[in-house]
Structure 1
């Protein structure tokens, strides 16, 4: 039986381990932390439970596929339900919109809320779906760095329809052409943040992102987002995958341009294949420091990071749901500050996730657990204590104005995570949430491939490589890697 080593127990690493185990490999996962999940982690503090990382769950079939692959009923490990409301949106002038999950209802209600013709919304959403269907099998499900990917009818169809993909214009430009209402433009511009980019720079093809939410739906996992990684971890244990915790990978062992194994803080392991689920930047800088790095890829602009306040709140808010957005009045300035000035503005867009709305045990009775996040630049050694304190005040003042409350009197406990903490706990270079940013039309092609061109049997998965960051894309990266590796002899 051939041996495969996976470095990192993030969602991509666990999924890769599961797929290789099914292909007959003896798989060991090496993890520097004491837990699995990477960014998909959680904490408990003062009778509140908080998901620390990703908070949006779409395309659940990518998770359940892994249980079915191993012949296990998914419901024995993992359960979830579909949300009827996607997200609640708030503006400073009192405007409010609750986005329903049903597409026809969304078009009808959005038309009324934003005084926008239904036809405009319908045409836009249909084009988003078309972009997704044209490109998903090429951009998301296969390696862009293999010639075989481009020798298919689907690829030819995508290339023949390239004029409809809006690669030459920004997402903001496409949205401005599609809608008359500025708030609706801002509504759809927000989806650039789903891959850590700016709507004023990322290409118009990214307008297909809303289809992942509106076409496939949004869901909530029973027990919270952390259960996604934990259920897959339990499956991995049940099928015989070994995990080494509190063991830091120090070097990928290479002999004559072929992997031999991994040296860790506790010893060395031989392997026929090595798959790095670690961020590609530290993978090259630390684990492959004796190899020539791909300089252009490592110099790519990093995606945005996040500043998150986890607050216990001693009140229930009926106007809030699982997902809530409080928009900035200075949206373009917000992204200019993040990507050009590496700073934060005084009027940030605020996202609040409240899992106790779906999982009441996440907060004491009559209380809520607020995950309060603003988009932030990566860690470039800014004065984070000052930025954090100022942002905290600005966030509280903004929420006080819009919700007509005194938030200072309601916060019972607090935990803070900033780009420095994200970088140190997940080894994500500069604390980037999605690896490289997608702030140009070639970004999809410039991400690091899922394999090494120079080192045989070395592969890469996770959010810093193709096809990108976020739970669905990390799971797809695992499938791409598994498809590239032949069955164990």
Structure 2
């Protein structure tokens, strides 16, 4: 007679929650996922407005191997369930003086493009990318693939080798200082400083170790999934259900129940749902404040500086622009001042850097013929009680003015539909405390060590996955957090 399987409960159907569910189901657990929203995905969601579709959350897809790994783990061929294409142009950059620069996926073409449009040489770019790769080789085994919070993990040969090379990851200079020493043109420096925003940090405070991020794009590539970014969620949720995972939507978990120093399950209303282990994919701040009220919270971790947030305008545009690509950046002239407003003044600079994503450039059905779906985003501070209605009005005016000026077209009348996402809504819709997109910021050299572990040192059977815990935010790291949990579970 087959013994009954162990029971696992996942709190939250974000990407890390779904990935954790798949991995535990493959291990033989009976898995139930409880999600407060009506569908899976967390911050990785989609928005439909008439004939327009928008990827409402993360819009850049890198490291697809971490998605494919889940299908292979379940004995499936990823290509049968999930397709994507590699981008030849990762991003297009626009500057106020009229310079337009394409970040090609081919590193030599990219380096030549920078040499052609700035005062920096192609050789300096190649050298930068080589250094980015070196940082990745050193940090990947230690910071990304394993728990930093298990003592024995520091005593294998790979980790010891990486630790001996620690001085080479440039942790004691800021990203901006490192890039300013390497390049002489402000255009190039701004381009590479921008990667700090990939985990909600400030390049004028964050360690130069974050210069590892360009390696993810330039070496492993940037991609677009067929059907848009939300197809990642759909395909993985389908895979989870195929593995026997049960999803319960519109269901709020009230508390993680404990029996001494061991969890017993979760309470939903008056009902106790028993489990052998629980994985919280909820923001770590809310996990402790809402679900673990009976145990002392790790205050030093919860009170760390939060990452930045985002203000996004989803615009239905009644025209197409040939000069725009899938990913576009419109730089401010004073990047440092923009970050001072975000981090010190806690407001929005009048001339913000704008990220414009247009998925209809690749997925034509995302907008009607002759139209485009503009995901128009700027980095903003997390919510600490600002007057967001006034900030949004000013920002919208400044964004429209800036885009109209650089594109030499008044876009005001072209906006035929609009939806807005601000830090308050990010918090309320996805339980991301203060609307911060990545949990805590990475604005000091020890940030990687200060993130919450993927397991509880106090409660047996309790684990944590997602962008607010180790190893960090973004799709690849969220998936890796689930992989680390998988490795921790007996």
Q: Same fold (TM over 0.5)?
A: yes
- 1:236 matches 2:240: yes
**Other-structure match for 2:476:** 472
After superposition, the C-alpha distances for 1:261-286 in whole angstroms (9 at most, x for unaligned) are 00013732100001100000010001
Pairing 1:129–2:162 present: no
1:103 aligns with 107
2:148 alignment partner, SS class: coil
1:447: which partner in 2?
451
Q: Partner residue of 1:431?
A: 435
SS class of match (1:109): helix
Shift of 1:346: 0.3
Residue 202 of structure 1 corresponds to: 206
Q: Is the 8 A contact 1:13 1:461 kept in 2?
A: yes
Alignment partner for residue 163 of structure 2, among 159, 162, 172? 159
Cα distance per residue 1:335-359 (max 9 Å; x no partner):
1111111110100000000000010
**Correspondence for 2:268:** 264
Mean alpha-carbon deviation: is it higher for 404-413 or for 109-118? 109-118
Secondary structure in structure 2 of the residue aligned to 1:43: strand
Query: Residue 41 of structure 1 aligns with which residue?
Result: 45
Asked if 2 retains the 8 angstrom alpha-carbon contact of 1:22 and 1:70, the reply is: yes
| Distance in 2 between residues matched to 1:156 and 1:484, nearest whole Å | 20
- The counterpart of 1:19, out of the listed 18, 23, 31, is 23
Q: CA deviation at 1:119?
A: 2.1
1:50 is displaced (CA, Å) by: 0.6
2:186 maps to 1:186: no
| TM-score between the two structures when normalised by the length of structure 1 | 0.98
SS in 2 for 1:290: coil
Q: Is the 8 A contact 2:145 2:480 kept in 1?
A: yes
C-alpha deviations, 1:131-151, integer Å up to 9, x for none? 101110110010000012211
Indicate if the aligned counterparts of 2:107 and 2:126 stay in contact, CA closer than 8 A. Answer: no
Matches within 5 A, 1:237-316: 237-265=241-269, 267-316=271-320
Give the Å deviation of 1:169: 0.5
Find out whether 1:360 has 2:370 as its counterpart: no
* Post-superposition offset of 1:75: 2.0
Corresponding residue number in structure 2 for 1:175 = 179
Deviation at 1:112, TM superposition (A): 1.8
- Cα offset, 1:73, TM superposition: 1.6
How far apart are the structure 2 equivalents of 1:82 and 1:332?
32
Q: What do residues 81-109 of structure 1 show as CA deviations (whole Å, max 9, x unaligned)?
A: 00000000001111110111111111122
Distance 2:410 2:378 in 1: 20
Q: TM-score, normalised by structure 2?
A: 0.98
| SS at 2:426 equivalent | helix
| 2:58 corresponding residue in structure 1 | 54
Aligned partners of 2:167 and 2:278: how far apart in 1?
39
CA RMSD of superposed structures (Å)? 0.8
